[in-house]
Amino acid sequence: MTIEYINGKFLTPGEAAVPVEERGHQFGDGVYEVIRFYGGTGFMLKEHLDRLERSAEEIKIQLKDGIGAIQKIIEEGVERSGMKDCYVYLQVTRGAAPRNHLFPLDTEPSIAMTVKPAVPLPQEKVNEGVSVITHPDERWANCYIKSLNLLPNILAKQTAYEQGCYEAVLHKDGRVTEASSSNIFIVKGDTVITTPLSREILPGITRMAVKDVCDIGAIRLEERHFTVDELKQADEVFVTSTTSEVLPVTKIDEKPVKGGSPGNLTKLIRELFCARTAES
């Protein structure tokens, strides 16, 4: 069953209420994670928690009881849900206080969480690939922080949806950064290429897993910037995220990628990734 949690209490779904002066609500003053559980085990849970801790530190939120206490909340929530395959959404905000741009004094962070069933992607998307659009990257300068401030991402994703597409691939000064809610990879020949980590992109956990499986599978991977033209001329393209896993892209701005079908390297990487999740 679906689980909801806020500040020490597990609640009946729909019971939770957010104070009007909650800073996450009024300012987007918080950070979050989405964690996939496979067979009752959190996939790369430590890496997700490490990223949450780094994000909180970057916006100067102190986790009162440490990241270990948050891990216990997550594990209890999953156990209460009775679900083996689920998504955990967890967010930490600076808390509730009278509205003021300055940090409030003596206010404890607020922790909220939901645990919901994992819904696999439709098999047709995996088999046939998805369509994407290209879109200007209009986000703030610190995208490496997984903050609640997602309005530019939402607008880009909605634009893609309204054009019948799955994702919006973002670009800045002619360089591809990432997509609205995923990292992006291209394949040229026998080489997989992805944007290097910087303040401009989120250090995706699935991105990290793909790097690992490429190493295991002796697949050449290069981290470098590439242009929108290179994206459109790639042999293969795929996106990665906790919810998309490894998903082939077969059309960009209404034009097919190469032959218009998922490529062999993308299929292999997805197989290796799925094998890894089965072992988690």
Report how far Cα 10 is from the mean position of its chain's Cα atoms: 25
Q: What residues contact residue 176 under an 8 Å CB cut-off, 6+ apart?
A: 169, 170, 184, 195, 225, 226, 227, 228, 230, 231
List C-alpha distances in Å: 61 to 29, 107, 135, 140, 204.
Answer: 9, 10, 32, 19, 21
Q: Tell me which residues are annotated as active site.
A: 146
Alpha-carbon gap, residue 241 to 182, rounded angstroms: 5
Q: Supply 103's token pair.
A: 């940090």
Alpha-carbon gap, residue 37 to 87, rounded angstroms: 6
What sign does the CA torsion over 157, 56, 243, 232 have? positive
